[in-house]
Amino acid sequence: MLKASLSSKVDPRDAKLSMAHFYVAFTALLVGGLAGLLQVLVRSGKFQLPFGIGYYQVLTVHGVLLGLVLTTFFILGFHLAAVSKTSGTLTNKQRTVGWIGFWIALVGTVMAAVMVLLNQASVLFTFYAPLKAHALFYLGLTLVVVGSWFNSAVIIMKYAEWRRANPGQPSPLLTFMALINTLMWCVATIGVASTVLIQLLPWSLGIVDTVNVGISRTLFWYFGHPLVYFWLLPAYMAWYVVVPKVIGTKVFSDSLARMSFILFLLFSIPVGFHHQLLEPGIDPAWKFLQVILTFLVVIPSLMTAFSLFATFESFGRSKGATGLFGWLKKLPWGDARFTVPFIGMVAFIPGGAGGMVNASHQMNQVVHNTIWVTGHFHLTVATAVVLTYFGVTFWLVPHLTGRTLTKKMNKLALTQGILWAVGMTFMSGAMHAAGLLGAPRRSSFSEYGGAAQAAEWIPYQIAQAVGGSILFIAVLLMVYIFINLAFFAPKGEQEFPVGEATNQAEKAPMVFENWKLWLGITVLLILFAYTIPFIDLIQNAPPGAKGGRFW
Amino acid sequence: MHMHKFEKIWLIFGVTALLVFLTVLGVSAFYLGNQPPSCLATVDPEKVDTTAPFNEPGLKKVEGKDWDYELVFVAQAFAYTPGDVEVPLGAKVKVIATTKDVIHGFEVAGTNINMMVEPGYISELVTTFDKPGEYLVLCNEYCGSGHHMMTSKIKVVE
């Protein structure tokens, strides 16, 4: 049965559901990318927004569309396709649940987008209370999350069905990975759903006057850090399972890949305080505990780095490579399905190192809320993750639409990846440098009353505008490639590459499928890291904040 | 579950490096006292102007404490009070800040002075101004349309 499902195509009905998600994702990329271009231009000091449009409104569009909409819709679409491919076609009931989820999330997205465009919600994508957006903005975001829960239910149902049909067998690797990411998402979204439904929505509707800022932020960041792993793990799925097949080799180790995903599930959530290190109201000992838990994801990250480069090296050597780095020459650099995600992997090395600085108990103070942080996550999510999504798009979209990636498109895709790398080197590099000098993130162009220090930042802001403009060209290319692959590429068969494990005989230990155990440990770690400081925040709460609309 | 020999070496090396790193952070935090600003005191955000020490923003000499001065800042959209202040070179200063409305940042560019200011909470940190010059204070947490205009100035004078 496993063999049969591996060789088959994703069912056209499931393909349609996946593609629906991708249309939304790439629309978000186009509009969000344009917003990004406007921002870097404004911040260069040489350009002003027309028609009285506010910088922070554009910034909200950029963050919501790229940070929330592009990622969430792409991930849901990719999960569905990966599970349908490796565990079999969805049942009609599962697919219906998936469509309901899609429409709920889309309605929510449109509601939030309309409020942002009407300037009723210029609160950025983190919507920190007590900046008070229109209630429909919060309701829209809630619907996006609720819709994602329906799609999560599809993944969980399909997994359960596969396990029932194959007792005693480890689930297909891609399904297992999609399930882990889904479970992490479900546990994490409880936090953001709680603050929005219990605190922000009643307050924005005028039912209550004030909001407890400390609790709202803590619930937000309980969700906010697993959110970044929710973005990252689909890229890891592609790195572990897809890329080896693309270059024509096997998955380095099925069991170790599963173990690293389990570790991500455990250590992604009880770590939100490392985003709140400089905040009052939280005892520093609890901050430190969460710093330690944060750093434990270093272990699965090192495992991932090892297994990827081991895959590449053993492939190169099997092709006769010699010397320490001779295998690099044997890699299929002309194949965008490999090269574009590979650029992403490389970007993740400085991205991860910068992340360690950010999460360090003390060093955080040097960079917190400076544009260094913006530079950091443009390396991680906006390069490593997004270029891998693009690398997936190059084969997944034609696979789903019954078309092929032509030589010409492949070439364009390579150009796209290289332009992205060049643009991001300028933009992210300049952001890191300016951040170390103190330039703040999330701020419009300002000379800060003619301060000499602020004048030093302006050349870096011009470099950001140069990089950002190159990136926008890369965005346009990517949207063009997507439209080609979705509607115009020649009909044909495009492979859905799923790598097989090196040692098929060695079955993954069944303990990895024991969800009572792994979810149990996840919950225990969360309770351990959060219970006491959270009770402290409630018991020692100051009078609430009224807040309001400040834009 | 099989693990390659090189992978074992790599992980042992990596985990050891991690432990050393975390130990350094821990010793710095708990033995040397380098903790991030984490004041636990609160204030009614509606009564900031009438609550000490925020009723008298600015620099004040204090006696019998571990620091020589207290520098009190009140943040509100889109300004800090005081708008500029002079601090004697070499002074050990406790910076105390809060906000009357939404969340703000309190960053002194070019230094390690950086903390969040949240309604209802008091933020504090102790620092020594050991380089003369004019330092830009700015808001580094988005607070509304005038966020990038929100500044103050600290002059460190001999």
Yes or no: say if A187 and A522 are a contact pair by the CB < 8 Å rule.
Answer: yes
Mean pLDDT, residues A326-352 taken together: 95
- Is A467 within a domain? yes
DSSP H/E element including A427:
helix A407-436
Number of H helices, E strands in chain B: 1, 10
Q: Flag whether pLDDT at B4 surpasses 90.
A: no
pLDDT in tens, A94-109: 999 999 999 999 999 9
Mean pLDDT on A483-496: 96
Mean pLDDT, residues A75-91 taken together: 97
Strands B104-108, B133-138: pairing is antiparallel
Q: Do A362 and B10 touch (CB under 8 A)?
A: no
What does the pLDDT look like over B21-51, one tens digit per residue?
A: 999 999 999 999 999 999 999 999 999 999 9
Hey, is the C-beta of B147 within 8 angstroms of any chain A C-beta? Answer: yes
Asked whether the predicted pLDDT for residue A213 surpasses 90, the reply is yes
Percent of chain A with pLDDT over 70: 98
pLDDT surpassing 70 at residue A3: no
Query: What type of residue is B129?
Result: F
Rounded CA Rg of chain B: 20
ipTM confidence: 0.95
Q: Is residue A544 part of a domain?
A: no
- Confirm whether A548 is domain-assigned: no
Residues 67-126 of B with CB under 8 A from A: 77, 101-103, 105, 107, 109-110, 112, 114-116, 118-124
Q: Per-residue pLDDT averaged across A293-312, rounded?
A: 93
Query: How close B117 gets to chain A, by Cα (Å)?
Result: 7
Reading the block at residue A138, the tokens are 């919060």
Domain of A246, in residue numbers: 2-443+452-505+514-539
Chain-chain contact of A256 with B1 (C-beta, under 8 angstroms): yes
Q: Which of A436, A443, A539 to mutate against chain B (most B CBs within 10 Å)?
A: A443
Distance of CA A317 to the CA centre of its chain: 33
Edge-first strand order for the sheet with B151-157 is B84-88, B151-157, B133-138, B104-108, B114-117
Crossing angle of helices A386-401 and A71-87, in 10° steps, is 50
User: pLDDT tens digit string along B102-112?
Assistant: 999 999 999 99
Tokens representing A471 are 């990136």
Alpha-carbon span A504 to A511, nearest angstrom:
18
The tokens for A438 are 């103190």
Does residue A342 carry a pLDDT above 50? yes
Q: Is residue A220 part of a domain?
A: yes
pLDDT at site B130: 94
State mean pLDDT over A118-143.
95
Pick the closest to residue A471 from A21, A33, A28 (CA basis).
Answer: A33
Is residue A487 a part of any domain in this protein?
A: yes
Residue A55: inside a domain, yes or no? yes
Within-domain flag for A549: no
Is-catalytic flag, A317?
A: no
CB-CB under 8 Å, A541 with B1: no
Residue A378 a catalytic site member? yes
Q: What is the pLDDT of residue A506?
A: 74
- Note the pLDDT of residue A505: 61
User: Does A129 score more than 90 pLDDT?
Assistant: yes
Q: Which residues of B86-101 are buried (b: 16+ CB within 10 A; e: fewer)?
A: ebeeebebbbbbbbbb
Q: Which of A333, A206, A221, A355 is nearest to A275 (CA)?
A: A221
pLDDT tens-digit series, residues A182-191: 999 999 999 9
Q: Which residues of A touch B145 (CB under 8 A)?
A: 54, 56, 122, 550-551
| Mean pLDDT score across all residues of chain A | 95
CB nearest B120 (choices: A255, A256, A545):
A545
Contact A368 B140 (CB under 8 A): yes
Nearest CA among A487, A434, A385, A393 for reference residue A44: A434
Residue A503 predicted with pLDDT over 80: no
The verdict on whether A163 is a catalytic residue reads no
Tokens standing for B131? 């380089």
CB spacing of B36 vs A306 below 8 angstroms: no
Neighbouring CB atoms inside 10 A of A510's CB total: 10
Q: Which residues of B touch A431 (CB under 8 A)?
A: none
Query: B58 in contact with A at a CB cutoff of 8 Å?
Result: no
Any idea which residue has 């100035």 for tokens?
A: B153
Mutate to test the interface with A, among B27, B28, B38 (most CBs of A within 10 A): B38
SS3 A459: helix
Provide, as residue numbers in chain B, all residues whose Cβ is less than 8 Å from the Cβ of A44: none
Residue range B76-104, pLDDT digits in tens: 999 999 999 999 999 999 999 999 999 99
Give A7's pLDDT tier (boundaries 50, 70, 90). Answer: low
Burial of A340 (0-12, 13-18, 19+ CB in 10 A): buried
Q: Are the C-beta atoms of residues A80 and A22 closer than 8 Å to each other?
A: no
Mutate to test the interface with B, among A294, A306, A367 (most CBs of B within 10 A): A306
Closest residue of chain B to A130, computed from CA coordinates: B102
Query: Do A35 and A62 contact (CB within 8 A), yes or no?
Result: yes
pLDDT band, very low/low/confident/very high, at A501 (cuts 50, 70, 90): confident
Examine residue A545 and state whether it is found in any structural domain, yes or no: no
Q: Which two tokens stand for residue A62?
A: 């950029």
Q: Which of residues 1-40 of B touch A (CB under 8 A)?
A: 1-4, 6-7, 10-11, 14-15, 18, 21-22, 25-26, 28-30, 34-40
Number of separate domains in chain A: 1
- Give Cα separations from B71 to B34, B54, B68, B150, B155 (angstroms): 20, 10, 10, 18, 13
CATH number at residue A485: 1.20.210.10
Q: How confident is the model at residue A1 (pLDDT cuts 50, 70, 90)?
A: very low
pLDDT score for A2:
45
Residues 259-318 of A with CB under 8 A from B: 259, 276-284, 287-288, 291-292, 295, 298-299, 302-303, 306-307, 310
Phi/psi of residue A388, nearest 5 degrees? -70, -40
The whole-angstrom separation of Cα A190 and Cα A194 is: 6
